[in-house]
Amino acid sequence: MADYRLPLQFGVSVDPNINEFNTAVKLVKRADEVQLDLVGIQDHPYNRTHLDTLTLMTYLASHTEHVRLFADVFDLPMRPPAMLAKAVASLDQLSGGRVEMGLGAGAFWDAIGAMGGNRRTPGEAVDALEEAIQVMRLVWSRERSVSFKGEYYQLKGYQPGPAPAHMPQIWLGALKPRMLKLTGRLADGWVSPGNIYLSAEQVPAVQTVIDAAAVEAGRKPSDIRRIYNVIGVIDAHVRGGQGMVGSVDHWVKTLTQWVTEIGFDTFIFWPSVPTVEQVDLFAHEVAPAVNEAVEKARQVAQTTA
């Protein structure tokens, strides 16, 4: 599995739990100050302790200046795609072009149904997601009027606007073959499950499915950004803990390998210990060193090609 040679991006995830709100705000403000690229927020609106992700994104956008925000990932069955696209376009305008669209087909169907969302089979969920992508791009267009006739979603002479400040990228949370193929055909990026759910050893097989679908659709595999949610702690002295636990050097070496050997280009750090110090280590020590190591590796690969 080769490096797709996309510019690297680094971000942090924060917990939408109401009990962790003050910590989330503190971490996002710090991520903005240290010039991380992204903040990702999971979306489980049926969870009684979780704030609404889009509302939280709006609040955080108003308290930051640089960092881009995305849902990691929006639960489509809970959110009609035309309205979700309208909301994201609005926030993108108000934030100066700092919103991307992370999107998922849905998974926790009992909880989704309990809240009034659409309960679907796995096949129906993927089909609905494919329609939703088309609907969203129409909503973001600058056409005077758009229509769409699908099995799950329809637009009938809808007049789009206001347009987003930039065209939000659509990144799909995907793991199973049909979702991976859809990612390769239509999406701007793949959001991988966290490293505790999808190990680095399992990634090449998944990337191959995405790449084959992209080529079949007339696209280049490098058209698709590859985002890895990395759960862990940066600390040479911690023993145990969830996810990847190790020193700065260990993190740099591992993330560099994940770029050059299995094709990731974007890392969203989910700190098991959610502190400003962890964000600082990731932004000031891990990210610059990974950028430097990957640049050197790419130069060597280019000269030996």
Residues of the chain with pLDDT > 90, as a percent, come to 95
Q: What pLDDT score was predicted for residue 239? A: 63
Burial of 135 (0-12, 13-18, 19+ CB in 10 A): buried
Count the domains in the chain.
Answer: 1
**Beta strands per DSSP E along 62-162:** 68-71, 74-75, 99-104, 146-149, 154-158
Find tokens 């959001």 and name the residue. Answer: 191
Residue 218 lies in a domain: no
CATH no. for residue 28? Answer: 3.20.20.30
Confidence of residue 240 (pLDDT cuts 50, 70, 90): low
Q: What pLDDT score was predicted for residue 133? A: 98
Assess whether pLDDT exceeds 70 at residue 80: yes
Write out the residue range of the structural domain in which residue 68 sits: 9-180+189-204+225-304
Structure tokens belonging to residue 224: 């698709």
- Please report how the helices 122-139 and 81-95 are oriented relative to each other, as an axis angle in degrees rounded to 10: 50
Across residues 18-46, what is the average pLDDT?
Answer: 98
Q: What pLDDT score was predicted for residue 236? A: 66
Residue 215 lies in a domain: no
Residue 211 lies in a domain: no
Assess whether pLDDT exceeds 90 at residue 212: yes
Residue 2 lies in a domain: no
Across residues 107-135, what is the average pLDDT?
Answer: 96
Find tokens 């994940």 and name the residue. Answer: 258
Assess whether pLDDT exceeds 90 at residue 304: no
Confidence of residue 2 (pLDDT cuts 50, 70, 90): confident
Structure tokens belonging to residue 92: 């993108």
pTM here is: 0.97
Return the minimum-mean-pLDDT range out of 16-20, 166-170, 240-244, 264-268: 240-244
Across residues 78-84, what is the average pLDDT?
Answer: 97
Assess whether pLDDT exceeds 70 at residue 163: yes
Contacts of 201 (CB under 8 A, 6+ apart): none
Residue 172 lies in a domain: yes
Across residues 250-260, what is the average pLDDT?
Answer: 98
Assess whether pLDDT exceeds 70 at residue 128: yes
User: What integer best gives the mean pLDDT of the chain?
Assistant: 96
For residues 75 and 144, the answer to whether their CB atoms sit within 8 Å is: no
Residue 213 lies in a domain: no
Across residues 268-290, what is the average pLDDT?
Answer: 97
Q: What pLDDT score was predicted for residue 180? A: 98
Residue 3 lies in a domain: no
Give the DSSP H/E element, type plus range, for residue 61: helix 53-61
Across residues 196-206, what is the average pLDDT?
Answer: 96
Residue 98 lies in a domain: yes
Give the DSSP H/E element, type plus range, for residue 254: helix 248-260
Assess whether pLDDT exceeds 80 at residue 237: no
Assess whether pLDDT exceeds 80 at residue 205: yes
Across residues 238-267, what is the average pLDDT?
Answer: 92
